[in-house]
Each structure stands twice: as C-alpha cells, then as structure tokens.
C-alpha cells in the first residue's frame, strides 16, 4: 500500500529558462516579434492588424493611459468584445505598468458595479454594444472619477465619452515599457462567481510566460505558421491564453470573433480562415457534430483541437476525430492556474480522461484529511506550478482556503488510473451521496451521452423524503422526442453500465442546459428547479 500512496503524479520541472527578474510581458512579446512587423497578428470581423501595427497601437494606448492620469499599478476595467482593440488595450496596459482587469461581457450592470467598486478602476474601456450595462454601472457605482472610454461605438450613434481610436491616433507611442518585475502584478481575471461574489484573481507578468512555455509550445506544438481560433472568449483564462498569449509567443495568427460562438458561427470561420488550431468546449463540440451544416474534412485545415471547461465525453471526442481526422486534447485548467495543467497529448489521446500532468506542474489527489489517495480512488485535486496566481484581491478568507503555500486547492474531484491518466469526477460541491455511497454526477452524465438520443445531460441530487436521489436533466438530439418510454430506456441504459445505486431515479427532458459564459453547466440552477 505504501507504494500506491507515493505522489507519482508529480512532474519534474520542465527545462525552461525562467524569465529575468525585470520582465514586462508586453515588451517581451514586442521584442520577440520585431522581425514580423508585416505579418498578420489578428483577423477579426472588421479586418486585420499586423504585428507592427499591434505594437504601435498598444504603445500608443500606454501613452494615452498616462495622459488620462492612470498610473502604474492602478486598474483599468476592460469590458470588451473579442476584437483587435482588446489585445491592444491589454498589452498597452501591461506596457504602461497599469493592471488590466478583463471582464466577462455577458454580465449585468449590478455585476459591473461590484467590479468597478472592488477593483477601484480608474478607467473602463467598453465596446459600444456593451455600453448600456456599463453606463448604468458607472452611474450606480461608488468610484473616484472612473473614466469611460468607448471602443467601437454603435454605428450612427453619438457617445458622450472619448473614443478609443481617437485617443490612440492622438497619442505618441510610449518609448519605454514600465520597469515591471516578473513577479509584479500584471492583470486580474474575475472568477465566475458561481458560489458568491466573483473573486479578483491576481496574476503576474511571468504567469503568462509560463503557460506559453509549459503548455502551448510543448503540448500544442504551436508554431509561427499556425492560424489559431478560440471559441472561448479572451475574458476567460482559457481564452486569453488561446487567443493572445500563445499565438503572440510564437508569431502565429489569431482569429477573433465578437459574436456568440454558435456552431454556425464557428463553421464560417473554420472554412473562411482555415485555422490549424481550434480551442473549444465540450458543449460546443457536441452541437457542432449534430449540426446539418457540419463542414466536410476537406473544407477545414485543423491539425489539433483542445477542450476545457468541462470533461469531454469519450463519444464526442471519437466522433469528432472520425469526422475531421483531428484529435481533441482534453485538459483542465483554472483561473487560478491561468491555463491547462492536466492534458492529453497528440498521438496519445485517451478519450474519457483528462490525460496526464503537463511537465512543469505537480498534481496530487488527497482525501478529506489531506492524505494522498491510491490509484482508483477519488480525491481532491491539488496543483503546484509556476503560473499560479498570487491571491484573490482583498479576500483573505478565500485566498487562505485556496492558496496553500506552493499548492492550490482546485475544488475538483479526480481519480487516477493505473496508467497515470486522470478521470474527472466533478466539482467537490457537486458530489452526491446516494444509499451511503458517493456518486459522481459527471460519471452518470458520461454514460447518458453515449445513448443515441442524448445530446447533453446534467445530473444533480434531489431530496426524496430526506434521502438524496439522482435526477438527470437531458437534452435530446433534434430527431428524438421526450417520452416515458425513452426515460425508462435511459435509466436502464445507465443501470447496465454503472453500479445500480448510480442510475438516475428521475429523467427530466429540457430544451437547453443552463451554462456559464465559459460553457460550464450551472448545476445549482438545475437544483433550484428540482
């Protein structure tokens, strides 16, 4: 038994040189791409921007921030759609030593009131389409003269605020970057706030560097000739790496999309721009595969895809690869770790698992007492690695519960197989105890989606006379209709494949599952319906 409890999942640090002590990530990227000034860095809905233009506009924004009286270490809130203006603002802020706080674009005015107040933002840059919620928030928030700057104003409408492009045109490119340190605060990302107020997760300049060096280059094999496209938006930690850190770290070209990532919107860009690397989430891959407009393999140029946010069902991965001849590298990351730290590998994908630790990160599974669990048993996932956030801003209690010395408690449950692959068992607060035994909702969901009629499924626990029973919410494929017969068939389908106590006692057919902006199923909303 002693041998089973050794932390064999721990990975030695990858042989990557750390950044120097004085390190500004924006300046680092600009230096890397000095010889690519004429190459296209971004393609968005309005056109393209070269690496040279990106650097110049970002350095102009750095100067504009100083003109506006925003000082190093102060915050600017970016409530911006995925257009070229977002990388310009993000990199320009880093260059100036100002801290960009990238916000979810699907929030309410009340959410932005909280973020403006909590971050003490000195300025907010908002896309024109998002102005109603942002202006309402500014009118309600207690702030000390937070300035509004508008990016991409609504066509034909006058706005009573400076326009981003006008500020850029009037500014002189900043000659020198702020003298930032590798461990200085660079930017914030707010957590989803599914269990309370969003947490301002604080990251450093070096965190961005490490995700590119440990994951993007060795795991994705991303290179200068790649064209990348992320369905996950830049306000999501996953999307920020996908669409900014990774392509710019090798001189690749990134495609940005402002609209919602529907299957048809994705198909349009896969065919038009022919990206070689695509980053998605499981629910999107599922909807793509059932769409009648799914492109043929010959119409796209995909060489590798990734998935995160939720566990990727085996059946979805296998069907996608069979159709496109391209593997999906399922992995898990977090806002706290900035990007993926457990991942499948190209040529060695094991669908139904999250793969193995990314070299440079260490992973442990622990029980409630903090002891390592043996292979085959479910434990709480802990991670250690150089891209870990510093803290949650102004939230000592939550910081102490999550940042435990060098380790981060993820809040996820996992099981490690004998071959070293990890299998997701759900969030710690989603685990169910049925008939005195733990049930992973994800395990039941993975079985349900193997049925020919099921597109998506989510499992929650409901109270039956003081006892917890499982209830499955099921989205059917368009060619199937709800019925009691089908519900009984699904229950039997699960019974045949899992232990008897795990099958769902109730099946509720539903048109759509509630999800966060990053594609995660909001099980708490389903529990509220039960």
Residue 338 near residue 212 (C-beta atoms within 8 A): no
Q: CATH: 3.30.360.10, 3.30.300.30, 3.20.20.60, 3.40.50.1110. Which one for 430-529?
A: 3.30.300.30
157: left (phi over 0), alpha (psi -120 to 50) or beta: beta
Tell me, what's the pLDDT at 530?
Answer: 66
Query: Hey, where are the domains in the chain?
Result: 25-416, 430-529
Residue 407 phi, psi (nearest 5)? -100, 150
Q: Count of H helices and E strands in the chain?
A: 16, 26
Q: How far is CA 350 from the centre of its chain?
A: 21
Residue 114 near residue 198 (C-beta atoms within 8 A): yes
Task: Retrieve residue 361's tokens.
Answer: 């990160």
Grouping H, G, I as helix, E, B as strand and the rest as coil, residue 334 is: coil
**Could you read off the pLDDT of 347-386 as tens digits, one per residue?**
999 999 999 999 999 999 999 899 999 999 999 999 999 9
* Predicted TM-score of the model (pTM): 0.86
User: Is beta strand 328-333 parallel, antiparallel or unpaired with respect to 340-343?
Assistant: antiparallel
What contacts 320, CB < 8 A, 6 or more positions away? 285, 288, 289, 305, 326, 328
422 vs 118: CA distance, rounded Å: 37
85-96 vs 25-32: helix crossing angle, rounded to 10:
120
Residue 263 near residue 284 (C-beta atoms within 8 A): yes
DSSP output for 4-21: GGS-TT--PPPS-PPPPS
User: Could you identify the residue written with the tokens 């393999």?
Assistant: 297
Tell me, what's the pLDDT at 310?
Answer: 83
- What sign does the CA torsion over 344, 44, 30, 153 have? negative
Q: How far is CA 29 from the centre of its chain?
A: 22
Tell me, what's the pLDDT at 183?
Answer: 98
Instruction: List % helix, strand, coil for the chain (3-state, nearest 5).
Output: 35, 25, 40
Q: Spell out a b/e string for 358-390, using b for 16 or more CB atoms within 10 Å of the CB, else e.
A: bbbbbbbbbeeeeebbeeeebbbbbbbbbbbbb
Residues in the chain: 530
270 vs 249: CA distance, rounded Å: 22
What contacts 330, CB < 8 A, 6 or more positions away? 306, 307, 308, 311, 312, 317, 343, 344, 349, 351, 353, 354, 355
Considering the domain delimited by 25-416, tell me its CATH architecture: 3-Layer(aba) Sandwich (3.40)
Scanning 151-257, the segments in alpha helix (DSSP H) are 164-170, 205-211, 237-240, 246-250
Grouping H, G, I as helix, E, B as strand and the rest as coil, residue 421 is: coil
Nearest residue to 266 via CA among 292, 288, 233: 288
Residue 259 near residue 265 (C-beta atoms within 8 A): yes
What contacts 499, CB < 8 A, 6 or more positions away? 437
- What sign does the CA torsion over 481, 484, 485, 488 have? positive
What contacts 358, CB < 8 A, 6 or more positions away? 11, 214, 215, 218, 219, 331, 340, 341, 342, 343, 385
Q: CA-based angle 302:305:311, to the nearest 5?
A: 155
Per-residue pLDDT of the chain (530 residues; tens, 9 = 90+): 333 344 444 454 458 999 999 999 999 999 999 999 999 999 999 999 999 999 999 999 999 999 999 999 999 999 999 999 999 999 999 999 999 999 999 888 989 999 999 999 999 999 999 999 999 999 998 877 899 999 988 887 888 899 999 999 999 999 999 999 999 999 999 986 544 678 999 999 999 999 999 999 999 999 999 999 999 999 999 999 999 999 999 999 999 999 999 999 999 999 999 999 999 998 899 999 999 999 999 999 999 999 998 889 899 999 999 999 999 999 999 999 999 999 999 999 999 999 999 999 999 999 989 999 999 999 999 999 999 999 999 999 999 999 999 999 998 999 999 999 999 988 777 777 675 566 888 889 999 999 999 999 999 988 766 667 889 999 999 999 999 999 999 999 999 998 777 899 999 999 999 987 667 788 888 988 76
97 vs 74: CA distance, rounded Å: 8
4 vs 7: CA distance, rounded Å: 8
SS3 annotation, 21-89: CECCHHHHHHHHCHHHCCCEEEEECCEEEEHHHHHHHHHHHHHHHHHCCCCCCCEEEEECCCCCHHHHH
Tell me, what's the pLDDT at 367?
Answer: 93
What contacts 9, CB < 8 A, 6 or more positions away? 356, 357, 362, 363, 364, 365, 416, 420, 422
Residue 330 near residue 355 (C-beta atoms within 8 A): yes
43 vs 45: CA distance, rounded Å: 7
**Could you read off the pLDDT of 39-70 as tens digits, one per residue?**
999 999 999 999 999 999 999 999 999 999 99
Grouping H, G, I as helix, E, B as strand and the rest as coil, residue 323 is: helix
């Amino acid at each position: 038994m002693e041998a089973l409890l050794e932390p064999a999942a721990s990975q030695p640090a990858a042989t990557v040189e750390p950044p120097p002590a004085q390190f500004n990530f924006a300046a680092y990227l600009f230096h890397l791409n000095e010889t690519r000034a004429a190459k296209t860095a971004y393609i968005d809905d309005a056109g393209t921007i070269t690496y040279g233009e990106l650097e110049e506009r970002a350095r102009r924004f750095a100067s504009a921030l100083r003109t506006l009286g925003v000082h190093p270490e102060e915050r600017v809130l970016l409530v911006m759609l995925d257009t070229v203006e977002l990388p310009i603002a993000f990199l320009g802020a880093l260059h100036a030593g100002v801290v960009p706080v990238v916000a979810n674009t699907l929030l309410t005015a009340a959410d932005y009131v909280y973020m403006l107040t909590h971050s003490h933002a000195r300025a907010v840059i908002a896309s024109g389409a998002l102005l109603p919620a942002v202006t309402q928030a500014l009118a309600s928030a207690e702030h000390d003269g937070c300035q509004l700057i508008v990016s991409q104003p609504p066509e034909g409408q006058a706005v009573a605020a400076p326009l981003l492009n006008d500020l850029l045109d009037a500014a002189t490119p900043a000659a020198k970057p702020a003298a930032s340190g590798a461990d200085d605060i660079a930017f914030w990302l707010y957590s989803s706030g599914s269990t309370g107020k969003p947490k301002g997760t604080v990251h450093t300049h070096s965190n961005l560097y490490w995700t590119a060096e440990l994951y993007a280059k060795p795991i994705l094999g991303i290179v200068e000739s790649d064209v990348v496209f992320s369905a996950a938006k830049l306000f999501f930690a996953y999307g920020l790496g996908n669409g900014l850190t990774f392509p710019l770290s090798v001189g690749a070209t990134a495609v940005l999309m402002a609209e919602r990532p529907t299957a048809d919107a994705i198909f349009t860009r896969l065919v038009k721009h022919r990206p070689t690397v695509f980053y998605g989430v499981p629910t999107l891959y599922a909807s793509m595969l059932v769409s009648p407009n799914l492109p043929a393999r010959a119409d796209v140029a995909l060489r590798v895809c990734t998935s995160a946010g939720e566990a990727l069902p085996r059946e979805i991965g296998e069907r996608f690869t069979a159709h496109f001849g391209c593997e999906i590298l399922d992995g898990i990351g977090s806002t706290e770790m900035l990007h993926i730290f457990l991942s499948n590998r190209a040529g060695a994908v094991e669908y139904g698992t999250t793969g193995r630790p990314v070299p440079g990160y260490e992973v442990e599974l622990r029980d409630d007492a903090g002891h390592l669990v043996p292979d085959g048993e479910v434990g709480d996932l802990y991670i250690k690695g150089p891209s870990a956030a510093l803290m949650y801003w102004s939230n000592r209690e939550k910081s102490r519960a999550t940042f435990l010395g060098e380790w981060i408690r993820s809040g996820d449950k996992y099981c490690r197989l004998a071959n070293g692959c990890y299998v997701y068992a759900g969030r710690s607060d989603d685990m169910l105890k049925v008939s005195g035994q733990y049930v992973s909702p994800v395990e039941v969901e993975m079985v349900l989606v193997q049925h020919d009629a099921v597109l998506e499924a989510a499992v929650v626990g409901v109270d039956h006379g003081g006892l917890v029973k499982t209830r499955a919410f099921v989205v059917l494929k368009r060619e199937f209709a709800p019925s009691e017969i089908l519900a009984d068939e699904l229950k039997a389908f699960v019974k045949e494949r899992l232990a008897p106590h795990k099958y769902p006692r109730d099946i509720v057919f539903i048109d759509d599952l509630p999800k966060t902006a990053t594609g995660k199923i909001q099980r708490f909303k389903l529990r509220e319906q039960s």
